[in-house]
Structure 1
Amino acid sequence: MQMGADGAIRGEVRAAGHQRVAHGLYRIETPEIGDWENLLRDLGALLLVLPPGAVFTHVTAARLLGWKLPALPEQVPHFAAVRGQCRPRRPGLICSRLTHDSTPSTAHGLPVDAPAEILLRAARDLGDLDLTIMVDSAARLGHIDDDAIQEILETKRPGTRRLSRVWEVHDRRAESAGETILRLFHDVLEIPTASQIDVHDDHGRWVCRADLQVLGTLDLHEYDGAVHRESAVHKRDLRRERAIASTRYRRRGFTLDDLLNHAATVMHELDRALNRPHQAERLRRWRALIDDSFYSAKGRDRVMNRWYRSTDPVVWARSA
């Protein structure tokens, strides 16, 4: 039996007062703390089964670094990267091999891979829309820059093609996953926009900052997430909308349901506002982007099936 931090135990016998983290791995039960604290303790316990020098990567590391994430399913594996041939096999743990030099760091006391490596590993699984959300957030936080991305892209490793495509359209000014989705919707519909625009009234007084402005117009397009329906936020939003109404600008709000389930209707509204003909190909491209992401059942099934196969569920019992 091997002991780790926070009372974690690696062994086949479960001790009283411990909860299971993975096959042959337990830690002290902590029902009194929140989901985030329990996640940190689970990851800390996993270090007992990971070899020295291992780092967390993919969406696990992204979560530790505070990046915005796409709409991940409730049950997502933990991701680690290791050097050498020793790759622990546990249900719920996916280990990849570190083959290139990188500069790891720590987040919340846990080892994490370099940001560019994290994005590259995510690019092997996620769709363009999902990955763009992560890239926008990493760039906004200053964790990634063009030099680091170009160094990764030059390796031509798996995932570089998707990462290159996403990096070309990323925007470090996006403040939420919803804003990224709204911007990509406009990009696919070939509607040029500018992000995070300062709005002033006719007297030059600052009114607010808007998510997107359609270039060549006074139209402001913004993402209205669930938080905007909370009482305090809703009251503030109403005051903000009245302030915008006193200017020459016109505000349109969009929800996730608009973009995912009523994209055709929204596209027709925007085409009419821009006085241009409809093109069905734009809608087909948007639906293809959604279908390859976590925002569709098809996209979720594709990635989750890939992850399930990667945990090698048949042979894990041989690696206690």
Structure 2
Amino acid sequence: MSFFPGNDPDAGDAAAADLIEQLIIPRTSDIGGFEVRRALPTAKRRLVGPFIFFDRMGPARLEAGAALDVRPHPHIGLSTVTYLFDGDIKHRDSLGTELVIRPGDVNLMTAGRGIVHSERTPENLRGGPLSLSGLQTWLALPSDREEIDPAFHHTGAPALPTFDEAGASGRVVIGSFLGLKAPVPTFSGTLYVDLRLDANARFPFPAGEEERAAYILTGRVTIAGDTFTENQLLVFRPGDPITLAAGPEGCHLMLFGGDAMEGKRYIWWNFVSSSQERIEQAKQEWKTGRFDIVPGDEEEFIPLPSG
């Protein structure tokens, strides 16, 4: 999912409520009948905490014979996070990892100095109709960790802490929330929470993180008298406590954020770095075949984009 060639989205107009720093309307790309909405990065907002990339995949129903086939491609300077609501994806990488991620699991792949991976529909699911829905996000690494050895960490859904109280239920995907801590490793302060609110429920989003945002997956949310709808990204002002009020149909959101990065990050294609020169180096390394191959998926790859 990290190669969907959608353009950066346009940022929304000035915030409708005093508590909203930015409202971002993702730009939608259709990739062979599969919709992807890219909310980060934008020209006006590059990061929320360490989150430098936020893609909403689907929900989609692929016709019989169609499949997800994201060929091997490289990354540097970031961790990718794949989190699904529906469907299965087979992950392979140049470390030799090969596994299927299922709804509620977390795949955290840390590129560091360089990794290559592919994401495809599992062989046993090909041939019939497929459903797929989820998120892929990228976490920028602190500048002193950008060149660490690549690593892969899979956390199954049962290992993630859950909560269910007062009309709010969900799962802590990364970081700590409501006294619960996810076992997924982090390199800087990071929060990622899958939250569902019952009809008309109210839920406080405390100002514990330096930067915070919410992506509305389904339903409507009212904040300080203003109502926001699905597939909108709300970036909140630092330090302000927020109360999320669900509409009569309830809502599903992802809360995310964390510590602000200590400096500027450059992003080009699948590469993230605090150094523009390092990105240029990575371009040449991919172009000249100096990245590692993906065992079991050696026949194809995504060429370096032109321009």
What's the TM-score, normalizing by structure 2? 0.24
Greater radius of gyration (CA): 1
What's the TM-score, normalizing by structure 1? 0.24
Indicate the structure whose relative CO is greater, using CA pairs within 8 Å and at least 6 residues apart: 2
Which structure: greater helix fraction?
1
